[in-house]
Structure 1
């Protein structure tokens, strides 16, 4: 076939789930690296974190109050206080040097070590410190206004983290809570999965850089920036390569430039549709092996997958459609799970909810990811979903602004040609804006 000829052969469409399964078979988690704790939020843990000491490491007070012997407070009440002798005090960070004798108490702050002899802490609010000045016992004494029990308001060693236990498992996404646990364990650095490196290449003579003036017939290269943002959101590091023109030499040079960056995934946009000139297909096939070119999905049917010959072995390639919305849908369905898997995370779709459809919807029979808007009925708490935005062609595959309006995809299954208003349908949340709750 001529390089400038058009692809006219009928190509069987691969089912969405089959295509995704085939893609994911070619991805494994990338190697680990070390990250400073302040840079580790949002990263994926590469190894189990095992506590090497108890947290807390000693018995300490969970409240500001008085450390006491619980037996000394028997019968105490707001009407009949039990008066104890105050023999000392201990602050957080201090050392509990003074033991609590029978009939004694030590004033104690939250986090301070429990003094020897004490087995409970009575809150300030349950002592004479909560009484007016004239009703308090003399200096050096405190009235206990509620009976205590053994262990009351006391944190035991290892109550939070037990030495030798796995406290954060491998594969966990590090959130602020995990960062706090790592800090408590004294981990200044942490082993994390390296962010997958993803080359991004836009193709087409019609494209110009975003800071260039638009000549007749030209459009700006928005797909590169959208893809870069999506890669970052999925946990990868984008490596933008700019625009490859519609000639074999330029496209080949750009592909090899991207591979020289030792990338883990190569993304292209445009040039893989049946109606396109076959330069992109020719070059990709020459630089590796292609597995399939089309998937039974709407939008996003022209979706290519293969492997390029990289400097250190095969590099998976996903060829996204050129239409902006189709490119985003194809990325979310196929590229995002691959990046998640490389990054050590489960390749799950976005969270799904059941919502009440607000209008009739028709479909071609392919799996259709329709742009949708979900909100929640404030009275019933039920989710509602509509596919009708302000634009007349909100579902057009080139209407990028429709994804500014949308916060979800209504996923119409294969073989379904109609959904009726009032049905409960599955929607995949692109994000979780506050108005949904």
Structure 2
């Protein structure tokens, strides 16, 4: 029996977590798109010292105040030791010890070596630890690294981050009917997944290390292709997931000693998708069997490969997000239906040209609306949504 779609996603995510990839340390400028393997905590209070938020005068006591110095950003401030004294101060500069208040430059009058004016009652500087305290957890392990997080890490005193490395992915394209160049004809079609799937996988944070195809439609060729790719963390195959006369994936998996994690999913299109695993070189290698029809293959990608990669990197389990439908979406009986949709002003509408073998609808869509079994999507209703990479 095909596994329930949501159960299948959870199953492969948990399998990935059990085989989570080891951590590595990379410079900040190489961390974007990776996943934190350790919590991000400041190495000092943020800010580390009292910091002026304006250009003006650091004042002690009552005025007028005698100007005794200047402190710029990046300098260590000399203390104000006497009442009635002032130090010119720049935005971002360290507030001198002994400062009672800061007078904005635009609210001040200077006469010789004296400055006068009325300071705001509101404090015009940031105290140590106002943003965060040393050792405070800012982001947990499993958080995706973004440019904003990289900037925060730098402000916390980091030169490097401990992250989970990118999963190494191999791609095997099965099918004697596939052409790799030129126009389709004479019973043969162009391979669309060979050029497209590496881009999808790269956008999902994977490192594509091996591409082979079209692999000959024989059992020996399938077994040889899988064995040659076992050093990868994940092997994605396209085609051969059924049990037809040239579908050799299942016997090839048996030949290399693989065990099923998920074998067929109650989803349309693309239900003959699968994930298997095999032990190789002291680690787990996963095999994701994607159907050969392009749209079905992408359904399998967002259904199973996305949560599997999240598990391998220690990221949180990916969940659909809600969208509002602006057009009707049919259900598929006992199966979950993943329907290609695109955004319009009033909401999300089904894409056109969405047959399993078609790419036109896929190219114009932004993701899939998830219609549960025994239901349909109606205009104005909310539906779960999976974004295309």
The unaligned stretches of length 5 or more in structure 2 are none
TM-score, normalization by structure 2 = 0.90
Contact 1:62 1:153 in 2 (8 A): yes
Task: Give the whole-Å Cα distance in 1 for the aligned partners of 2:388 and 2:16.
Answer: 25
1:342-361 aligned at under 5 Å gives the runs: 342-350=312-320, 352-359=321-328, 361=330
Paired position in structure 1 for 2:358: 399
Contact 1:241 1:258 in 2 (8 A): no
1:117-132 aligned at under 5 Å gives the runs: 117-128=98-109
Divergent runs of 4+, >6 A: none
Structure with more contact order per residue of length (Cα contacts < 8 Å, sep ≥ 6) = 2
Q: What are the superposed Cα offsets for residues 198-224 of structure 1, whole Å, 9 maximum, x if unpaired?
A: 221110101232x45655222222213
SS at the partner of 1:256? helix
SS at the partner of 1:18? helix
The unaligned stretches of length 5 or more in structure 1 are 1-11, 73-81, 129-136, 378-383, 433-437
Paired position in structure 1 for 2:51: 60
1:358-377 aligned at under 5 Å gives the runs: 358-359=327-328, 361=330, 363-377=332-346
SS at the partner of 1:161? coil
Contact 2:354 2:362 in 1 (8 A): no
Pairing partner for 1:220 from 176, 190, 212: 190
Task: Give the whole-Å Cα distance in 1 for the aligned partners of 2:312 and 2:284.
Answer: 15
Paired position in structure 1 for 2:385: 428
1:377-396 aligned at under 5 Å gives the runs: 377=346, 384-389=347-352, 394-396=353-355
Q: What are the superposed Cα offsets for residues 28-67 of structure 1, whole Å, 9 maximum, x if unpaired?
A: 2210111111111121111123333333332231211111
Task: Give the whole-Å Cα distance in 1 for the aligned partners of 2:92 and 2:132.
Answer: 16
Pairing partner for 2:88 from 103, 107, 123: 107
Pairing partner for 1:236 from 203, 206, 226: 206
Task: Give the whole-Å Cα distance in 2 for the aligned partners of 1:301 and 1:431.
Answer: 18
Equivalent residues, number: 385
Contact 1:86 1:105 in 2 (8 A): yes
Task: Give the whole-Å Cα distance in 2 for the aligned partners of 1:56 and 1:116.
Answer: 15
1:125-144 aligned at under 5 Å gives the runs: 125-128=106-109, 138-144=111-117
Change (3 A) 1:146 1:60: closer
1:1-400 aligned at under 5 Å gives the runs: 12-28=1-17, 29-69=20-60, 72=62, 83-97=64-78, 99=80, 101-128=82-109, 138-148=111-121, 152-209=123-180, 211=181, 214=184, 216-239=186-209, 240-259=211-230, 262-275=231-244, 277-291=246-260, 293-350=263-320, 352-359=321-328, 361=330, 363-377=332-346, 384-389=347-352, 394-400=353-359
Contact 1:61 1:154 in 2 (8 A): yes
Q: Please tell me whether Structure 1 or Structure 2 has the larger radius of gyration of its CA atoms.
A: 1
SS at the partner of 2:229? helix
Task: Give the whole-Å Cα distance in 1 for the aligned partners of 2:205 and 2:95.
Answer: 45
Change (3 A) 1:23 1:93: closer
TM-score, normalization by structure 1 = 0.81
Identify the range of structure 1 (113-122 vs 197-206) with the bigger mean alpha-carbon deviation. Answer: 113-122
Task: Give the whole-Å Cα distance in 1 for the aligned partners of 2:80 and 2:160.
Answer: 39
Q: CA RMSD in A?
A: 2.4
